[in-house]
Amino acid sequence: MKITFDSITKRYGELIANDAVTVSIESGTIHAIIGENGAGKSTLVKMLSGQVTPDSGSIAIDDKVIKGFSTHSAIELGIGLLGQDPMDFKNLTVMQSFTVGHRLNTSMMRNGLLRQEFERLNSVYDFNIDPKKKIYQLSIGERQQVELMRLLSNGAKVIILDEPNSGFSLEQKSKVFDALDGLTEEGCTVILVSHKLEDVLEYASSVSIMRKGTLVDTLDLPQSPGHLVDLMFGGHQEESVLQTESVTDTQNLVAKVQQSGQTIDLNLSKGMMVGAIGLQGSGVDTFLRNMFYDKSFLLTDAEGPIDKSSFGYVPADRLERGLFPELSILDHHALSSTLGHNVIDWTQIRSMCEDLIREYGIIGTPETKAHELSGGNQQRLMLSMMRSDINVAMLEHPTRGLDIQSADYIWDKLLNDKLSRTVTVFSSYDVDEIWNYSDYVLCFHGEDIVASCSINSISKTDIINNIAGNVIGRDE
């Protein structure tokens, strides 16, 4: 199906998410929409899936203007959205979640029709998901696979992928894109919203670039990555220079880490950046959380144990644990800065808040609510809230779902601040991030820490072998 967005505009308060956006997407293609965080990509596609109503403008399918989009009518039209977070039900089983809202809606569940349908898709796409499991027992990637099967089973002709890849393992990703490739040959249209240029260049045949709510250009691929990056960031992309000098100061710092029954001593130095890496689903998922909340982490310097009150924790699920979705940026800064004084000096907070918005490049006003910010801006907000007297910074997947520029910004900031802190700990699934930014590395396989050493005494291949549990590879 051919899809045309015609001068779509959408505002959230003072924020213009989409400003007269016009895009045309050809049938039977994988069309990518790229742009930095907050460029308005998600907002645009959510109008096609009926979750967001445009203020003005229209959407046409096969040159027929569709009026009054709702999620229901979008499904009738064969439009399926695979969101950043899977839209499922944690306490239901996979099969139940697959069934809810299914078009083969019979009042009785006794028939095995849906079960057969699930098993068929499961084997066609080689996903291997157990329908009896509860949703909360699956990884994000598996949940997305269930969602994809559900969309296809409901007769989706247009599949929108709204940055779902952050949760996919490499194997899952290739399986999913194999499935999508096959579908375009059957005439399906795939819209891939992403900030990962590699994915776009590898899978898409055309691309629309968005910047600050407007459409910059629509191009056929392939294009040079540099050109696309220029268009995404308006040509002002500065090559960020990241310091990678490692810390050699030998101030005695001993960390005791307890993980799944083992106790490991880490010999760290002040100002070090410690990276924890593992595959998704391994102990690395909850490592930092446990460190922060439990007594599984003890840090001692020459003067004795370091007090937990100077620990700062930035969780991965920004809206669930990190921020208050309904509170504004101003409220967040008031919360984080007036601890100790009970009466809030709003004028002072406002000026401080405006400074921080500028300093951290947050796209929003002091009144913007946290849930209205894009992922990258939420991350910036969390960093901007970290008090300056934090000695031990713990960041869970600090660049999860961020575009290159936002991610670079975050790393710049962390590397800048690391020397003024006792230690900075972060977790990641990305070997390159660990390799580029950490001074000390912890490798997880399953629930265990299988290697912990200075980054200088391990190779990138060894890290990969360790987290894959491939110890033989290390010996070779």
Partner 1 sequence: MAIVEFEIILAAIISMSAPLVLAVVGETISERVGIVNLSLEGSLLITAMIGFAVASITGSVLLGFIAAALLGGIIALLICFANITLYINMIAVGFTLTILLGKLSSYLGQPFVRIPGPYVPQIEVPWLKEIPIIGKAVIDQNVVVWLSIASIIIAWWFLYKTKSGLVLNAVGENPYSADARGINVKFIKYFYGTLGGAIVGMAGASFSLHSIYGWSNGHTLNYGWICLAIVIFGGWNPVRGAIGAYAFGGLQIMALKLQGVLFGLSQVLPLIPFPLMIMSLILIQYSQDKQFIPNRVRSILFGNQPEHLGDTFKRG
Structure tokens at 11: 């505002």
Q: Binding mask 273-292 vs partner 1 (x if CB under 8 A, - otherwise)?
A: --------------------
DSSP 304-331: EEPPGGGEEEE-SSIIIIIS-TTSBHHH
> Smallest distance from the beta carbon of 378 to partner 1, in angstroms?
15
Q: Is 218 in the site for partner 1 (CB under 8 A)?
A: no
Q: Which is nearer to partner 1, 97 or 452 (CB)?
A: 97
Using CB under 8 A as the binding rule, whether residue 456 contacts partner 1 is answered as: no
Shortest Å distance, C-beta 134 to partner 1 = 9
Tell me the backbone φ, ψ of residue 266, rounded to 5 degrees: -110, 130
Cα(111)–Cα(116) distance, integer angstroms: 10
Dihedral, CA atoms, 99, 103, 107, 113, nearest 10 degrees? Answer: -70
Instruction: Considering the complex, state which of residue 62 and residue 76 has its C-beta at the smaller distance from partner 1.
Output: 76
Residue 18 or 428 with smaller CB distance to partner 1 = 18
Residues whose CB falls within 8 Å of the CB of residue 80, separated by 6 or more in sequence, listed in order: 49, 151, 152, 154, 156, 158, 159, 160
For residue 150, the surrounding DSSP H or E stretch is helix 140-153
Shortest reach from residue 89's CB to partner 1, in Å = 4
Count of alpha carbons within 13 angstroms of residue 113, beta-carbon side: 12
Give how far Cα 376 sits from Cα of 38, 177, 197, 380, Å: 8, 25, 16, 6
In whole angstroms, how close is the CB of 90 to partner 1 at the nearest point?
Answer: 6
By the 8 A CB rule, do 444 and 450 touch? Answer: yes
Strand order from edge to edge, sheet including 64-66: 15-25, 3-12, 56-61, 64-66
Please tell me whether residue 427 binds partner 1 under the rule CB under 8 A.
no
> Per-residue string for binding with partner 1, 140-179, x by CB under 8 A?
----------------------------------------
Q: Is 460 in the site for partner 1 (CB under 8 A)?
A: no
| Whole-angstrom distance, CA of residue 17 vs CA of residue 245 | 39
**105 contributes a contact to partner 1 by CB under 8 A:** yes
Indicate the residue among 70 and 116 with the shorter CB distance to partner 1. Answer: 70
Q: Does 106 bind partner 1 (CB under 8 A)?
A: yes
Contact set for partner 1, span 14-53 (CB under 8 A): 46, 49, 51-52
Nearer to partner 1 by Cβ, of 83 and 271: the residue is 83
Applying CB under 8 A, among 96, 206, 223, 365 the residue interacting with partner 1 is 96
Specify the residue, 158 or 200, whose C-beta has the smaller distance to partner 1.
158
What's the token pair of residue 139? 């990884």
Question: From the CB of 472, what's the least distance to partner 1, in Å?
Answer: 35
CA dist 262 and 51 (Å) reads: 47
Cα 299 to the center of its chain, rounded Å: 30
Number of residues that bind partner 1 (CB under 8 A): 29
Smaller CB separation from partner 1, 328 or 452: 328
The residue type found at 181 is: D
**Between the CA atoms of 371, 218, 10 and 238, what dihedral angle is there, to the nearest 10 degrees?**
50
Instruction: CB nearer to partner 1: give 90 or 227.
Output: 90
Contact between 99 and partner 1 by CB under 8 A: the answer reads yes
Binding marks (x or -) toward partner 1, 49..88, rule CB under 8 A? x-xx-----------------xxx-xxx----x-x---xx
Sites of contact with partner 1 (CB under 8 A): 46, 49, 51-52, 70-72, 74-76, 81, 83, 87-92, 96-97, 99-101, 105-110
